[in-house]
Amino acid sequence: NKTCSWSSGPLSCTVVGLTSNVAYTFQVTASNTSNTSAASVSSNSVVIGLSNNSFSAALSLIDTSGSETDSNENATLETNEPALDAGTGGASVWYRYTPTQSGTLSIDTVGSDFDTVLTAYTGSTIATLSRVAFNDDIYYYNGFVTSAISIAVSANVTYHFRVTSFG
């Protein structure tokens, strides 16, 4: 429960700590001078937007290994986003990784419950991205529609990864 108060004009209230991709319903209760009033009708559900739906808000991957659980539900393509490498999807989420050593980086979407396309890029802005690699379906003919890539990486170079839906 969050309490906001004001004396005049429109009410503005900030709620923090909400989770991306979750529907929330808000209800407002106004108090009169007697400190009593009926609750208002509940609002329509509000879905909090994805935090890594845009290139500039890419989720930073910091460990040398691990996994990230995420969703691209309600994700979109943004203006100037590179053309899709495969499929007609468009629900993209972004990640970035800057290795401290040169070597080979492997990344995949194994465990996803939908058909993914995974693309790796270098570049500092969405307008200057250069594709390094992409994969659509590890083993399509065996029913594996998740994606995986392995790329040579250079120390202190930032790599961006886009995960999109195929269709």
Q: Record the tokens describing residue 71, joined without a space.
A: 């969703």
* pTM, full prediction: 0.67
Q: Record the tokens describing residue 126, joined without a space.
A: 């969405």
Instruction: Indicate the helix (H) or strand (E) that contains 95.
Output: strand 93-97
Does residue 159 have a pLDDT over 90? yes
- Pick the range with the lowest mean pLDDT from 24-28, 94-98, 112-116: 24-28
- Pick the range with the lowest mean pLDDT from 4-13, 31-40, 46-55: 31-40
Does residue 21 have a pLDDT over 60? no
Task: Give the list of residues 6+ apart from residue 113 with CB closer than 8 angstroms, or none.
Answer: none
Mean pLDDT of 15-21: 62
Q: Provide the pLDDT for residue 110.
A: 86
First to last CA, the chain: 39
58 vs 109: CA distance, rounded Å: 16
